[in-house]
Structure 1
């Protein structure tokens, strides 16, 4: 076994031992500990746990990769995900904490005095959470396939086993303190190589300032990447292909989806007081900002290094026999593919798709990579007037952050740290999502709807059984994902924006909103968004058919608007809520920030 493999196993193994040890130490003994960690988590610890829950595989693995490949359009993800967190902290978290319930369906069911509304909220929670968790499991599989030398499917199964131990055993109590440890691991794993990369390429230690530094002939890193991209037939890095309307709708869907995500909202039920909910949201935003402000720099440095390394200093390509070890490592993991289009033995990276599908074989049919099959080259990829040579390289955008340390020839321990951080990011969010699914089934479906007479012990058993089933389903989606990690996660945000966000906002700020309006709005919102996503993602819908050019990732905003309109119209045509419900709405808005939460 090579030294690097030993380091990878040591770092990942040590992190697993830490997480499982914490889960055993913090084992949940009651439903309150399983659902909301007993409601006694300190704000700074909750802020760290929330940041880890929030910064999933999409943030750690895929966000910089998406920006690296699509340039300016990736800004929607940065603006939407961070802006949404501010909205969540200011508009929702304190009020939901004051309401004093365990879950989002709990809030919806009680606020809208309807078991039908509760069941619809449970269904929405399950749909959103499974869509989201699919991206996390794919992220785990990618990390293991490269760093533990197993195929992606086996990697997903290893991740399922680890999550099973500490999510099913520890519940929210175990997950919370595990996520504190995972935040420390993932933030070190992201920032350490970012500092190295920034200093190596620009001479600036901080990637936030390195992004504006000069690198070649007095040109900034962004101007240099723009020029390299144009020379290779790509669009300028700082130019966008999305319309302004689509950018707006995508950003809004990500922002409002953030404020409606069940697994993030539930974190604010774990603190002792209403004031602590707002304080922990502030801590979480600070912890999140450390990573998010570094992402644009990491994306740019990764793009620059990739082009320079693969195409060589004269941009004519590098002989495959001389390619660095990292290229062949990722090729063997099935996440980079090369086809010698012109037979010159050189690896040449440019615009265009090198393969008709994701690669399973290199140009010599030398190595089968994972379970992916390629049969022929995509037609029309070569245009000599636009690019110097045809593209011969397939790069999975989800590897950019993971491959950066190897591309930059950073020390082996940094590579191993990044592997452990990526696993921490994916597992922390997966555990939070699976817990949300299990509590929705056991608490909101079994206890509150189907059989109110079950004991605390029986409810805990149902929660753990639901978590087991959820892990198995999540594993299936991880093995058969509908897209790149960040794309899959973006769809979950659209579903959350179109279903929960309007119901929660109107539930807090409108005494007139009744159960008929909320139910109709949620059904129309998530129904229209799901139909749009399914048509364009799975049924072959074309770009020309998109409504006003809005992408499936951004359609959640349209679904949200429809939800608001339908809810308002239906509620205005039906009876107002009972007086006691209107009093609850009035009470949760009274700004008694330092008082204890009141459960109604």
Structure 2
């Protein structure tokens, strides 16, 4: 059986499973569409939350960015994991206790303001649409390679599958579909990592193999990788080479952005009790850790494999020849990925070999002149292909390649469904029922929910054709937008007495300054160049657009407090409402005794 047929069986089988689950768990009421009837078991919800959380950025893109940058891109791991802990401890239980369906509804009721609810909806849609672009980018990459179709065709197929199970199933269908998707994605991520770890270190546990010895050389694996990269003019893999201040801000932006993402928060509205929300968060962290502890090993081992393949005789020897790439089955993966346009090389000096090195490194100038090198000849290596190409690079069996194809698509589609559901709920429940037509019937609201999700899918697919960066980079922008707008409003709503005017002014200020900075930094002031993956020079110190969300959040907090202090205090009934959400029942009685 050829590889294309194997891929088709794995991907087609997984899609049939998702659609079958959606038909079985079709939502018949608004309660089932928005919150799965509030009857999901904490373990089930934890697994669904993990799938919702671990998007294409986590599965497809994160390890690739770590592989080509090393230590400095561990910020993705630290920020996303830390943010989830922040969400679980400070927000999820209180929001579940409040008892609403959507984040925007909580903000509207807590700040006793229709305006606050509408502003929250706008912020939510901006952040969620940006996030879903990253998922559609991952769908296009995976389909383009494994089903041998164009990026556009891949996006359309992915959109159709999401439409089939999200539009009809709602939160109920999405929840049980995401459980299946988690099983697929974690299996697909772990099995290749175990194989590769055994090949390189003899240890079947990738996280332990990362700190073990490289079998072929006897050196510690990370020391071996550091030595190879330095010899090729790159920075050491294990050392910090970037700007520390920007790194801290980026990590903080990812953390608080995580805690402000509506599609993850909505998952905690699906469990029966507040205690179940806490247990869901704990189980989700366990399920997330299975992938996040493996990702650094996947990145490091893949980079070592790629370097060894480009310099098969060691970095002091000769580079791989074009003849070898064309005739040795070990290099078939390069020719396959070249057809997608996501991998490319050019023999600049006409010597029949492909030199892969940092042509900007001063330490290699003399060696380059001596050997007649004309620059790095591995001209294109899209970071998003690394995890998907890993089984082929390591020459693993065809069924593993097919499994990874299904896993990458499961990661992208599970998060896309959650995001689209958040957008749909905001439009139908917060805009239509909450503002435009409060007397709408349940059947009418459900129709609006499905129509708005269909429109959101169409918009996300269109924007996914021209993403503003690699999947993880695009997602980082979405986290920054959520950090600057939604997170401060939620935190102040639970733990402070900020009033409605302060909340509205803070959200508008936070998301506005963040959007302006992103557009200026990316060079999109008037006409966005959505194919520009490289940032311009930072406009404020060393702060990049992906890190500015933390600054936007500070602006939000500051404006909200200033405006709130300058206007009327919150009503007494709202103050009691906030205290009832934050303080457990019986706490006052316990203190009295």
* Structures share fold, TM-score greater than 0.5: yes
Assess, with a 3 A threshold, how the Cα gap between structure 1 residues 153 and 277 changes in structure 2: closer, same or farther: same
Q: How many residue pairs are counted as aligned between the two chains?
A: 566
Matched, 1:579 2:572: yes
1:422-571 aligned at under 5 Å gives the runs: 422-510=408-496, 512-539=497-524, 544-571=537-564
- 2:477–2:545 CA contact under 8 A, matched in 1: yes
Partner Cα separation in structure 2 for residue 560 and residue 212 of structure 1:
37
- 1:256–1:497 CA contact under 8 A, matched in 2: yes
- 2:174–2:417 CA contact under 8 A, matched in 1: yes
Assess, with a 3 A threshold, how the Cα gap between structure 1 residues 38 and 386 changes in structure 2: closer, same or farther: farther
Partner Cα separation in structure 2 for residue 564 and residue 314 of structure 1:
54
Partner Cα separation in structure 1 for residue 40 and residue 199 of structure 2:
40
Q: Which stretch shows the higher mean deviation, 380-389 or 119-128?
A: 380-389
**1:348 positional shift:** 2.2
| Corresponding position of 2:340 | 333
Unaligned runs of 5+ in 1: 354-379, 595-600
Give the secondary structure class of the aligned counterpart of 2:239.
coil
Partner Cα separation in structure 2 for residue 400 and residue 538 of structure 1:
28
Unaligned runs of 5+ in 2: 326-330, 526-533, 588-593
- 1:41–1:271 CA contact under 8 A, matched in 2: yes
**What do the CA deviations read for 1:449-506 (whole angstroms, capped 9, x no partner)?**
1110111111111111101110011001211100000000000000111111111001
1:322 equivalent among 302, 321, 324? 324
**What do the CA deviations read for 1:499-543 (whole angstroms, capped 9, x no partner)?**
111110010011x21001111111111111111111111338975
- The Cα RMSD (Å) is 1.8
| Corresponding position of 1:229 | 229
Matched, 1:14 2:13: yes
Partner Cα separation in structure 2 for residue 544 and residue 397 of structure 1:
22
| Corresponding position of 1:416 | 402
- 2:232–2:364 CA contact under 8 A, matched in 1: no
| Corresponding position of 2:531 | none
Matched, 1:346 2:353: yes
Q: TM-score, normalised by structure 1?
A: 0.92
| Corresponding position of 2:377 | 392
| Corresponding position of 1:92 | 91
**What do the CA deviations read for 1:192-220 (whole angstroms, capped 9, x no partner)?**
11111111101111111111112154422
Q: Which stretch shows the higher mean deviation, 389-398 or 424-433?
A: 389-398
Give the secondary structure class of the aligned counterpart of 1:384.
helix
**1:309 positional shift:** 1.2
Matched, 1:214 2:213: yes
Matched, 1:591 2:584: yes
**1:442 positional shift:** 0.5
Give the secondary structure class of the aligned counterpart of 2:567.
coil
1:300-319 aligned at under 5 Å gives the runs: 300-315=300-315, 316-319=318-321
Q: Which stretch shows the higher mean deviation, 217-226 or 194-203?
A: 217-226
**What do the CA deviations read for 1:96-128 (whole angstroms, capped 9, x no partner)?**
000001111011111001111011000001000
Assess, with a 3 A threshold, how the Cα gap between structure 1 residues 268 and 386 changes in structure 2: closer, same or farther: farther
- 1:274–1:593 CA contact under 8 A, matched in 2: no
**1:72 positional shift:** 1.1
1:273-288 aligned at under 5 Å gives the runs: 273-288=273-288
**1:240 positional shift:** 3.0
- 1:61–1:402 CA contact under 8 A, matched in 2: yes
Partner Cα separation in structure 2 for residue 352 and residue 93 of structure 1:
49
Assess, with a 3 A threshold, how the Cα gap between structure 1 residues 162 and 542 changes in structure 2: closer, same or farther: closer
- 2:522–2:536 CA contact under 8 A, matched in 1: no
1:121-270 aligned at under 5 Å gives the runs: 121-215=120-214, 217-270=217-270
Partner Cα separation in structure 2 for residue 12 and residue 284 of structure 1:
25
| Corresponding position of 1:366 | none
Assess, with a 3 A threshold, how the Cα gap between structure 1 residues 484 and 544 changes in structure 2: closer, same or farther: closer
Assess, with a 3 A threshold, how the Cα gap between structure 1 residues 435 and 214 changes in structure 2: closer, same or farther: same
Give the secondary structure class of the aligned counterpart of 1:547.
coil
Partner Cα separation in structure 2 for residue 542 and residue 329 of structure 1:
29
**1:551 positional shift:** 1.1
Assess, with a 3 A threshold, how the Cα gap between structure 1 residues 381 and 157 changes in structure 2: closer, same or farther: farther
Assess, with a 3 A threshold, how the Cα gap between structure 1 residues 18 and 352 changes in structure 2: closer, same or farther: farther
**1:382 positional shift:** 12
Partner Cα separation in structure 1 for residue 108 and residue 555 of structure 2:
21
Give the secondary structure class of the aligned counterpart of 2:344.
strand
Partner Cα separation in structure 2 for residue 257 and residue 196 of structure 1:
34
| Corresponding position of 1:67 | 66
Partner Cα separation in structure 2 for residue 382 and residue 344 of structure 1:
22
Partner Cα separation in structure 2 for residue 542 and residue 23 of structure 1:
41
- 1:543–1:549 CA contact under 8 A, matched in 2: no
Give the secondary structure class of the aligned counterpart of 1:233.
coil
Give the secondary structure class of the aligned counterpart of 2:547.
coil
Partner Cα separation in structure 2 for residue 124 and residue 569 of structure 1:
21
Q: Which stretch shows the higher mean deviation, 549-558 or 209-218?
A: 209-218
Partner Cα separation in structure 1 for residue 72 and residue 314 of structure 2:
29
- 2:522–2:535 CA contact under 8 A, matched in 1: no
Give the secondary structure class of the aligned counterpart of 2:584.
coil
Give the secondary structure class of the aligned counterpart of 1:347.
coil
Q: TM-score, normalised by structure 2?
A: 0.93
Q: Which stretch shows the higher mean deviation, 290-299 or 529-538?
A: 529-538
